[in-house]
């Protein structure tokens, strides 16, 4: 085996390993020994094209590789169709744009130096240089956009795929102009190579710029979500503090009243008064104990709120520790799920139906945590493409369910929604 063949084989092995590691981190693997299956798959569909010559053009080869890679990624990795499509197009589209930089440049250098007989070697060198660019671009995607696997939505993937597709088409059109040149004079080489290279370089810069802007938007969205959660916690803390001040203020009056009853030897009346006082104190005590002070502080006021509306509510919760799930994510999940359930029951009350009921429970297992909330429904909820649109006619409609979905994807969990005589939201989080 020649040194060039060894070099190409080594590059293929490293490329497959790097791509597999990237997809595993961004999407999550389905099976063990993913790299072995991934390398075998890429080697197989690459050599099938070489043996059978299924496609022979540049565009045909890119489409073939994208289709085969997408099928392989679907078998080996998690994630939505949009996410898998985006990562597939990113890996091959970026390389195609990079080829638009180096192939005209290297071939122009060969023409100007009178080495037209070395075009095969020039093409291999340009292809090698184009293979290195995706590593750099993928590192930007992986390191800079650290929120990608957490808050990256399908609409973000569609937006980026449109940009990458447009750039590939623009670079491909200029490359076709270059390869159709019949006169390789220096004047024509410069006239084509310079604008072609600038378009390709501009395309790669535009890809990086779009990623940076997307990261900024994701950060702003996360900050806004955290601000909303902090605002809810502050309102709950304010309510609890005001209740504490009220109890403290009333304690003096209650103490004076009890003292007067005891001075007059009204023992029975003092006992009855003390029992009423204790009952009032117990109403303000926490009735929900999950093992998390954050969850308790959130659920207890909402539990009392639901009871005030006449809703039959039951909460039996045990939640993972802070080392397993961040408190802000836990509260985001619980708050949005319970708010949606209470809102559904209130809509039933407004429509003239009984108050309804809510059942909220969770269980911690050795390797995963299961959370489920079920509420009665009197108004049917339509199911459309895995989503349940909120019937509330307000601008923030459906945000609660989207926040839940974001938290579930952040921890690579599973979200299941069921609608019928009642509405059920079931979430399973792996605890690793």
Domain CATH number, residue 404: 3.30.565.10
Q: How many domains does the chain have?
A: 2
Tell how strand 357-364 and strand 312-316 pair up.
Answer: parallel
Q: Are residues 190 and 334 in the same domain?
A: no
Please provide the average confidence, as pLDDT, over all residues in the chain.
Answer: 77
Nearest to 373 by CA among 421, 314, 295: 314
Q: What is the pLDDT of residue 375?
A: 92
Gap between the Cα atoms of 221 and 147, Å rounded: 11
Q: Are residues 92 and 178 in the same domain?
A: yes
CA 86 to chain centre: 14
Residue 249 included in any domain: no
Q: Are residues 304 and 216 in the same domain?
A: no
pLDDT at 416 > cutoff 70: yes
Q: Are residues 48 and 189 in the same domain?
A: yes
How distant, in Å, are the alpha carbons of 158, 268, 418 from that of 85?
A: 9, 77, 28
Structure tokens at 242: 């005001």
Alpha helical stretches, state H, 28-147: 34-52, 58-76, 81-112, 119-139
Q: Are residues 200 and 298 in the same domain?
A: no
Q: Are residues 30 and 157 in the same domain?
A: yes
Gap between the Cα atoms of 136 and 91, Å rounded: 11
The pLDDT > 90 percentage for the chain reads 5
Q: What is the pLDDT of residue 361?
A: 92
Tell me the mean pLDDT in the region 145-162: 72
The answer to whether 123 touches 109, Cβ cutoff 8 Å, is no
Domain that holds residue 305: 289-430
Q: Are residues 21 and 162 in the same domain?
A: yes
Alpha helical stretches, state H, 264-310: 267-284, 293-308
Q: Are residues 182 and 316 in the same domain?
A: no
Gap between the Cα atoms of 141 and 342, Å rounded: 40
Residue 238 included in any domain: no
Nearest to 319 by CA among 233, 427, 178: 427
Residue 399 included in any domain: yes
The pLDDT > 70 percentage for the chain reads 74
Residue 240 included in any domain: no
Residue 341 included in any domain: yes
Q: What is the pLDDT of residue 248?
A: 67
Residue 269 included in any domain: no
Go through 243-266 and write b for each residue having 16 or more CB atoms within 10 A of its CB, e for each that does not: eeeeeeeeeeebeeebeebeeeee
Q: Which of 192, 227, 262 is the last residue of a domain?
A: 227
Q: Are residues 154 and 294 in the same domain?
A: no
Q: Are residues 208 and 89 in the same domain?
A: yes
Nearest to 138 by CA among 46, 17, 42: 17
Nearest to 314 by CA among 358, 374, 346, 283: 358
Map tokens 């080489």 to a residue: 189
The answer to whether 170 touches 100, Cβ cutoff 8 Å, is no
376 burial level (CB within 10 Å; 0-12, 13-18, 19+)? buried
pLDDT at 116 > cutoff 80: no
pLDDT at 292 > cutoff 90: no
Q: Are residues 387 and 306 in the same domain?
A: yes
Residues 356-403 have pLDDT tens digits of: 899 999 988 888 899 999 998 876 555 444 444 444 433 333 567 877
Residue 350 included in any domain: yes
Q: Which of 176, 203, 227 is the last residue of a domain?
A: 227
Q: What is the pLDDT of residue 389?
A: 44
Gap between the Cα atoms of 74 and 29, Å rounded: 10
Q: Are residues 218 and 297 in the same domain?
A: no
Q: What is the pLDDT of residue 359?
A: 93
């Amino acid at each position: 085996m020649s040194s060039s063949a060894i070099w190409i084989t080594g590059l293929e092995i490293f490329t497959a390993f790097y791509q597999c590691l990237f997809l595993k981190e961004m999407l999550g693997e389905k099976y063990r020994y993913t790299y072995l299956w991934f390398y075998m798959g890429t080697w197989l569909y690459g050599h099938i094209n070489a043996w059978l010559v299924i496609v022979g053009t540049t565009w045909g080869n890119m489409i073939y590789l994208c289709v085969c890679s997408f099928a392989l990624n679907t078998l080996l990795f998690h994630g939505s169709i949009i996410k898998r499509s985006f990562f597939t197009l990113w890996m091959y589209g970026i390389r195609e744009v990079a080829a638009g930089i180096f192939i005209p440049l290297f071939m122009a250098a060969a023409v100007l130096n009178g080495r037209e007989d070395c075009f095969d070697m020039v093409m291999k060198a340009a292809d090698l240089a184009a293979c290195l660019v995706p590593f750099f671009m993928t590192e930007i995607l992986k390191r800079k956009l650290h929120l990608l696997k957490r808050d990256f939505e399908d609409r973000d993937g569609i937006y980026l795929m449109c940009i990458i597709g447009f750039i590939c088409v623009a670079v491909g059109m200029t490359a076709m102009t270059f390869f159709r040149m019949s006169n390789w004079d220096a004047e024509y080489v410069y006239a084509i190579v310079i604008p072609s290279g600038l378009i390709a370089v501009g395309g790669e810069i535009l890809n990086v710029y779009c990623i940076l802007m997307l990261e900024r938007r994701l950060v702003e969205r996360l900050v806004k979500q955290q601000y909303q959660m902090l605002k809810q916690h502050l309102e709950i803390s304010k309510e609890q503090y005001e209740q504490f001040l009220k109890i403290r203020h009333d304690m003096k009056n209650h103490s004076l009243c009890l003292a007067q009853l005891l001075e007059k030897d009204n023992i029975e009346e003092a006992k009855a008064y003390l029992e009423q006082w204790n009952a009032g104190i117990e109403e303000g005590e926490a009735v929900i104990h999950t093992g998390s002070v954050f969850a308790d502080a959130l659920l207890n006021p909402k539990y009392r709120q639901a009871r005030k509306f006449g809703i039959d509510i039951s909460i039996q919760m045990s939640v993972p520790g802070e080392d397993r799930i961040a408190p802000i994510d836990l509260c985001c999940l619980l708050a949005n799920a319970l708010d949606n359930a209470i809102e559904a029951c209130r809509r039933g009350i407004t429509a003239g139906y009984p108050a309804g009921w809510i059942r909220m429970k969770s269980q911690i297992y050795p390797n995963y945590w299961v959370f489920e909330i079920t509420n009665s429904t009197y108004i049917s909820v339509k199911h459309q493409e895995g989503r349940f649109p909120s019937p509330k006619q307000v601008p923030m409609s459906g945000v609660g369910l989207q926040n839940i979905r974001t938290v579930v994807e952040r921890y690579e969990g599973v979200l299941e929604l069921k609608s019928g005589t009642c509405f059920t939201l079931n979430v399973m989080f792996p605890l690793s």
